[in-house]
A and B are shown apart, each in its own frame.
Chain A
Amino acid sequence: MSALLTPTVALVAIAAVAAIVPLAFRRWPRLACIAPAATSAACFALFLAWLAPVARGTELVESWPWIPSLGVFAGFRLDGLSLVFALLVTGIGAIVLAYSPAYLDRGPRTGQLLGLLLAFEASMLGLVLADDTITLFVFWELTTFTSFFLIAFDSTAELARTRARQALVITAGGGLALLVGLVLLAGAARPDGPGLAVALSALDGTSLREHASYVPIVILVAVGAFTKSAQVPFHFWLPGAMVAPSPVSAYLHSATMVKAGVYLLARLHPHLGGTPLWITLLAAVGATTFVTGAVIATVQRDAKLSLAYATVSVLGALTMLLGIGTSYAIGGAVLLLVAHACYKAALFLTTGNLYHHRGTRDPFAPLRARRDMPVTAAIALVAAASMAGIPPLVGFIAKDAVIAATLEGTTRVALAVASVLAGAGLVAAAWLAGIAPYSRGRAPWSRGDVARPMLVGPGLLALAGLALGLVPSLIAEPLVAPAVRAIAGHPVSYDVVLWPGLAGVHGLAFALGAGSIALGSAIAVVVWRWRDPITVMREHWQALSGARVHEALLGALARGAAAVARTVQHGRLPLYIGTVVAAMSLVVAAPLVWSEPTLQAALEPTGYEIPALIVAAVGAIAATIFRDRLSSVAALAAVGLAVVFLFALFSGPDLAITQIVVETMMVILLVLVFRRLPPSHVRERPGGKLVRLLVACGAGALLAALLVVATSVAAYPTTASSEQIQIAAREDMPNVVNAILVNFRALDTLGEITVIAIAGIGVAALAVRERRR
């Protein structure tokens, strides 16, 4: 049964449905609303079937050839870590996909949203299943692009477009760093391989940590992970992305995509982790983000923004735990990952209900009715309790594990303090997002709530949080332990229990957890009591936010580009031509003088060459003397024809034929162009004539010198090798010139004719534009 679902099958199935759904929605809206969730749920069920084999230590590896010459293959692997993420991606995907149609009231863009969400799901699944570094990177960028379209889903709103661009610039920028890091990694892992890519399962941590490029690899990979997972100072794009519809935020910005960075760090932990650099970098950045996110989350007046900053905070915690890297910390990270996905997705969806039902997400907005939205409120209460870390929910187990992990060892007082502070902030944020919006109401009573499909999904997630808390053995052995082994990279035992007792580190951890709940409750009271002054203060601080800095930098870039364009693109034709000719002359003249060529010109014209040269010289001189453009062109044509004659004399019939048709065409085109130019040279600036004279004479003298030097070279290097000429004879192509053009160098010619076609269309477009003016 489980053998049916290999990663490739799941990917192809989801991608196929993603392609069909937007079209199918117009014809069969009902089916198109069910199919995505059903596909995702089926994948979830089939991944569940892999739990037992993976827990026994089985690893599923698939590999398809892709670019063998570069060592790139499309490889997929299913191990403990990948399985946790695959289950989250498909499980929460199914819930979000079932929720979305109702959230949009099955409006005309429902099909589009479902298609985009599925495309994202396929990308994310590919990312967590990829075994090959290049495959991983491709799926990594695919999640960036699909999320760009999802954030900008409300594409008529300028804010949505700005925020989507912001997220794209930050995460795609980090993606570039990641690409360099991964290529360096492949080079370090396989110094003699053909190398762009390497299988993640084949990495050898011991030699990598000793390698010369270890430090750049860690820093580049970390930058990629930090941007994707919204670590300080890149965190601002995540709250900005909250302009997306709530189901999108629930899926991308809490449960899955933002955890891609964490996944990458976890995936590479056995190969790169454990060094002082890794521990310091991840623990410091993670702890900073952990506290910063939690603090900002408490001062928001929008339930969704509170949740977004709380997500930033949890991502910081996950990064910090992967930095610490003990089996305790890794276990805490896996637990926190699962618990957070359950409660945060549920809270995002209930916040969506709130907005759908009331049109506001302000937790302090006056309510129309008492006991409004009872079911949503109950779901939100359970999820918020899990977020705050209250027993017996799974959030409590996770929080306890996190604090216990920071208490291990001696030098981690700062991390423990950070955990307590951030935990308190999360408690207050949980109250803001999950309890405050539903708890105060005035008469009359109302039991109105949103449609049932919008309650089932979050309800299931909240129940899952409760069930996993009460019976942690459901996930302990089959899910958490294999993941911990995969992240640690060696066999470790990790047990999950609801109540670990008070012995040793657990007693202190429990006391600190209780303390953080008490502190968080106090913060919640403060936030409620002084809500208006806090809002004023927050708006004051926003001038310092990363988003403002980012926008200012982008604006400066655009202004700088405009200034450069104004200077360089002045639109004066004589100046353009003068600049090009002068620059070209300098570029050619410098190496010519520098190389000190030996001149042995044997320019002794004989026979028919003499009259041809006389014609050419007279034509050239005449072209400069004539004041009338047409006469100048005619004189130039005479030069050209003389050259044709010379080519013919020197047994170059191909050149002669080409030259004569080009020359003819050139004269025709020049005549046609001159009809459109203004009658005479425009107003002359003082000294302009001198400059033009200098440029023209310089370029002419240089070309003459170049010819003399070129003819002095004793042996001409051949471009067509004698071997090719022999092939031409054998392939029955006596005309070697043409054989080279359309046979041996056909790719060059293909490129050239394409350029010719584009240039012709460009000229035509310019002429049309000129006429319209």
Chain B
Amino acid sequence: MGSMLLRTSSSLLVGLLAVLSIFVLLRGHDAPGGGFAGGLLLAGAVAVKLLATGVTQARRTLRIHPRTLVGIGLATAGVAACMGPLTGRPLLAPVGGPHVADLAQLGSVLIFDIGVYLIVAGTAVTIMFSLVEED
């Protein structure tokens, strides 16, 4: 599977795409982007690795089982949802924090978006892997 060209460039591409996905996630607060688009971008990064080197290599690159990613994402979103009640506000109410590097604002909204990011990426990768695996 995959051409020499793709295999060689994939390592570089994967890293770039992953960093780009995190950038898109973080800037979602102030500018176009966000957890959904970022998550799909990360899944795209894994897809590049998958198409270039096959599912075993892709799994190794990801290091973590995609389904675990989904679980962590749901838990993260849940924690963010509960931050409101813990500070005496309604469920899912935003709890703010300081701005960091003109990019994003720390707080429950960002944590919630990180949850979305992880779930979207995890689900897309889970589906891709399960479609490719032959064993």
- Interface residues in chain A, defined as those with a beta carbon under 8 Å from any beta carbon in chain B: 653-654, 656-658, 661-662, 664-665, 668-669, 672-673, 675-676, 731-735, 737-738, 741-743, 746-747, 749-750, 753-754, 756-757, 759-761, 763-764, 767-768, 771
Contacts and interface: CB of A to CB of B under 8 A. Distances in A.
B3 interface: no
B14 interface: no
A669 B131 contact: yes
A657 B24 contact: yes
Contacts of A746: 81, 92, 112
A672 B131 contact: yes
Contacts of B81: 746, 750
B31 A735 contact: yes
B33 to A, nearest CB: 6
6 contacts: A732-B99, A741-B34, A746-B81, A753-B116, A763-B126, A764-B126
B32 to A, nearest CB: 4
A763 B127 contact: yes
A160 B51 CA distance: 57
A757 B66 CA distance: 11
Given A657-B24, A741-B34, A742-B112, A753 B73 contact: yes
B99 to A, nearest CB: 8
Given A673-B131, A742-B116, 5 more contacts: A664-B44, A733-B105, A743-B94, A747-B91, A753-B116
B124 A653 contact: no
B58 to A, nearest CB: 12
Nearest to B21: A661
Contacts of B30: 733-735
A750 B35 CA distance: 12
Given A657-B24, A735-B31, A750-B77, A756 B37 contact: no
Interface in B58-96: 67, 70, 73-74, 77, 81, 91-92, 94, 96
A764 B120 contact: no
Contact of A657 (B32, B43, B92, B113): B32
A661 B126 contact: no
A667 to B, nearest CB: 10
Contacts of A750: 77, 81, 92
Contacts of B32: 653-654, 656-657, 735, 737
Given A731-B94, A735-B32, A760 B122 contact: yes
A749 B113 CA distance: 10
B10 interface: no
Contacts of B92: 746-747, 750
B131 A742 contact: no
B40 interface: yes
Contacts of B129: 764
List 9 A-B pairs, minimum CB-CB distance, nearest first.
Answer: A760-B123, A767-B130, A661-B40, A764-B130, A653-B32, A672-B131, A746-B92, A654-B32, A753-B119
A741 B133 CA distance: 34
Given A738-B33, A742-B35, A756 B123 contact: yes
B47 interface: yes
Contact of A742 (B40, B41, B67, B113): B113
A656 B128 CA distance: 23
B22 interface: no
A676 B116 CA distance: 29
Contacts of B119: 753, 756-757
Contacts of A653: 32
Contacts of A673: 131
A763 B130 contact: yes
Nearest to B119: A753
A630 to B, nearest CB: 14
A737 B115 CA distance: 17
Contacts of A664: 40, 44
Interface in B4-45: 24, 28-37, 40-41, 43-44
Interface residues of B, number: 49
Contacts of A735: 28-34
Contacts of A672: 128, 131-132
B131 A767 contact: yes
A676 B133 CA distance: 11
B70 A665 contact: no
Nearest to B39: A661
B127 A753 contact: no
A760 B126 contact: yes
Contacts of B67: 760-761, 764
A733 B28 CA distance: 9
B133 A767 contact: yes
A115 B83 CA distance: 38
Contacts of A654: 32-34
Given A750-B81, A753-B119, A764-B67, A669 B128 contact: yes
B126 A738 contact: no
Contacts of B51: 668
B29 A756 contact: no
Contacts of B31: 734-735
B52 interface: no
Contacts of B33: 654, 657, 735, 738
A669 B115 contact: no
Contacts of A665: 40, 43-44, 47, 124
Contacts of A669: 124, 127-128, 131
Nearest to B71: A757
Contacts of B94: 731, 743
Given A669-B131, A737-B32, A753 B74 contact: yes
Contacts of A757: 70, 73-74, 119, 122-123
Contacts of A675: 131
A771 B134 contact: yes
B124 to A, nearest CB: 6
Contacts of A767: 130-131, 133
Contacts of A749: 112, 116
A743 B126 CA distance: 27
B34 A768 contact: no
A761 B74 CA distance: 13
Contacts of A738: 28-29, 33-34, 113
A661 B120 CA distance: 12
Most buried by A among B35, B47, B91, B127: B127
Most buried by A among B81, B94, B132: B94
Contacts of B96: 731-732
A763 B105 CA distance: 35
Nearest to A756: B123
Contacts of B130: 763-764, 767-768
Nearest to A752: B116
A763 B28 CA distance: 29
Nearest to A760: B123
A367 B98 CA distance: 88
A102 to B, nearest CB: 49
Contacts of B74: 753-754, 757
A747 B96 CA distance: 18
Contacts of B44: 661, 664-665, 668
A656 to B, nearest CB: 8
A657 B70 contact: no
